[in-house]
Amino acid sequence: MNVLITGGSRGIGAAIARRFGATGAHVAICGRDEEALHEVAADIVEAGGEATTQRADVRDEFDVERFAETAAREGGPLDVVVANAGVYHGDPGETPIADESYAAFDDHVRTNGRGVFATVRESVPHLADGARVLVPSGGIARDPKPGFGSYAVSKALAEALARQFAADLDATVGVVDPGQVSTDLTDGGPGREPADVADLFHWAATEAPAEDLDAGVLDLRTWKQATR
């Protein structure tokens, strides 16, 4: 199995990478921190998998294009794509949209929305038959709450992109919602540990019914009900 993950140097992306590595998969990860990428790659190899790393910024489509090409060259057609890279400018719950800067808005949309577009678009030429594309998101994309501003907007855009790609591609494309997770993105705030939700993503990529994932949202409750 060949798995491509953006934002794979830390948090949820790194946890997903390690989970697939433990199954012996080839895992290609990208991010902006090369040292952190190498650390995750070492864990993947130690667990029995194969790893490819590449410094890439999902805001740059040429970076993403090169990353997808490298992943396919090193591991073959892409069986799983996880468009995971994301940013949050400010403190979660304390960024009302009326007070946000244009720079924060633009970078949320460019990274969390356009970055998903670039990741999926540049992966399309390399997708294997039966490939699955996962877009991590959260309830804030569908149920707005005060103080999440343009981050919530960008995640809604990411989910809309998943639905449109699902309509246009033969591959299965859907959203995976792990609930609240404690990561650098949220400044280590309350939530589950990334490793605790990695099984959800592995299940969504390998065992969940394709018709449930395609243009849909798979969350923790769905996973627990299906695997208990």
List the domain boundaries for the chain.
2-227
Q: Is 181 helix (H, G, I), strand (E, B) or coil?
A: strand
- The 8-class DSSP code of residue 1 comes to -
Q: Nearest 5°: phi and psi at 123?
A: -85, -25
Q: How far apart are CA 11 and CA 25, in angstroms?
A: 19
Least confident of 77-81, 153-157, 205-209, 219-223: 219-223
Residue 22 burial (10 A CB sphere; 0-12, 13-18, 19+)? middle
Q: What pLDDT, on the 0 to 100 scale, is given for residue 187?
A: 58
Q: What is the pLDDT of residues 41-86, one digit of tens each?
A: 999 999 999 999 999 999 999 999 999 999 999 999 999 999 999 9
Q: What is the pLDDT of residues 158-212, one digit of tens each?
A: 999 999 999 999 999 999 999 989 776 665 566 789 999 999 999 999 999 999 9
Per-residue H/E/C for 5-27: EECCCCHHHHHHHHHHHCCCCEE
Please identify which of the residues 148, 151, 165, 223 carries the catalytic annotation: 151
Asked if 151 is an active-site residue, the reply is yes
What's the topology of domain 2-227? Answer: Rossmann fold (3.40.50)
Q: Is 127 helix (H, G, I), strand (E, B) or coil?
A: strand
Name the amino acid, one letter, at 10.
R
Q: How far apart are CA 56 and CA 65, in angstroms?
A: 10
Q: What pLDDT, on the 0 to 100 scale, is given for residue 153?
A: 98
How many other C-beta atoms are found inside a 10 Å radius of the C-beta of residue 1?
17
